[in-house]
């Protein structure tokens, strides 16, 4: 667990995090080994390792608000929730005084050899999130390459993929830090389907412009 300005940030492997202050936010729950009761659930896109219906059934309830990329909405109809909200890139929603803004997430050069298209095409409108809690902003990039829309977002905390294959490599993620200008960066998207601790360490060793914290999986 890493705490930043009163916000407890926990990593559960892959792209799954919780943010805890006055309420609990869970991002992209996948293969959870611990019980979580989030107030808000954020889903970046419709791939199985980000929109895991099995995990959502375990943690969502009639007290939880689900916010997701619009491409996810049809598959979420049978998941219990207080409310379901679909967002497109650029849209935002305020829940319990927390501002949640959708940011584009897509590939530039990670191409599926079967379809000859990006694994995460821009036209799908998959998203990342900038989450503003009080005066602190946390940016979860979703599954993305380094894209122009990231430039100068300047969040306090950046949650960034490092595995390559479907997302940024460690070196590309380090370049993203230069563009995004966070105060703290935390690597993700390794150790589950692709990537390893080596990628997280390479990222940490390469980044010079901010603190890097490699979290222990919960």
Domains of the chain by start residue, with CATH: 2-212 (3.60.15.10)
Residue 31: per-residue pLDDT: 95
Residue 33: per-residue pLDDT: 87
Cα–Cα distance between 98 and 95 in angstroms, integer? 5
Cα–Cα distance between 45 and 30 in angstroms, integer? 12
Over residues 112-134, the mean pLDDT reads 96
Alpha helix positions (H), 72-196? 170-180
| CA-wise closest residue to 104 among 120, 93, 82 | 120
Over residues 66-78, the mean pLDDT reads 97
Percentage with pLDDT > 70 across the chain: 100
Whether the predicted pLDDT of 49 surpasses 90: yes
Cα 30 from chain centroid (whole Å): 12
- pLDDT grade, residue 204 (50/70/90)? very high
Whether the predicted pLDDT of 76 surpasses 90: yes
Q: Across all residues in the chain, what is the average pLDDT?
A: 96
| CA-wise closest residue to 203 among 167, 165, 161 | 161
Whether the predicted pLDDT of 34 surpasses 90: no
Q: Of all residues in the chain, what percent are helix, strand and coil, respectively (each to 5)? A: 20, 30, 50
Look up residue 210 and give its two tokens. Answer: 């901010």
Look up residue 3 and give its two tokens. Answer: 């705490």
Is residue 188 a contact partner of residue 160, using CB atoms and an 8 Å limit? yes
Residue 208: per-residue pLDDT: 93
Predicted confidence (pLDDT) per residue in 138-184, tens digit: 999 999 999 999 998 999 999 999 999 999 999 999 999 999 999 99
pTM of the model: 0.97
CA dihedral 119, 84, 53, 7 (to 10 degrees): 80
């Amino acid at each position: 667990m890493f705490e930043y300005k009163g916000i407890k940030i926990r990593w559960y492997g892959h792209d799954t995090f919780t943010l805890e202050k006055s309420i609990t936010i869970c991002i992209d729950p996948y293969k959870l080994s611990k019980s979580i009761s989030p107030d808000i659930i954020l889903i970046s896109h419709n791939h199985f390792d980000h929109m895991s219906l099995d995990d959502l059934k375990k943690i969502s309830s009639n007290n939880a608000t689900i916010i997701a990329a619009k491409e996810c909405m049809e598959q979420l109809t049978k998941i219990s929730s207080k409310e379901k909200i679909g967002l497109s890139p650029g849209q935002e929603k305020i829940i319990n005084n927390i501002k949640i803004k959708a940011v584009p997430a897509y590939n530039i050069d990670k191409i599926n050899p079967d379809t000859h298209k990006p694994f995460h095409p821009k036209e799908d409108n998959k998203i990342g999130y900038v989450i503003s809690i009080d005066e602190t902003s946390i940016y979860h990039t979703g599954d993305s390459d380094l894209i122009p829309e990231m430039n100068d977002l300047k969040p306090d905390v950046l949650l960034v993929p490092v595995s390559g294959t479907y997302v940024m490599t460690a070196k590309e993620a380090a370049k993203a830090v230069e563009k995004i200008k966070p105060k703290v960066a935390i690597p993700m998207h390794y150790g589950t389907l692709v990537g390893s601790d080596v990628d997280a360490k390479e990222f940490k060793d390469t980044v010079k412009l901010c603190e890097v914290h490699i979290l222990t999986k919960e």
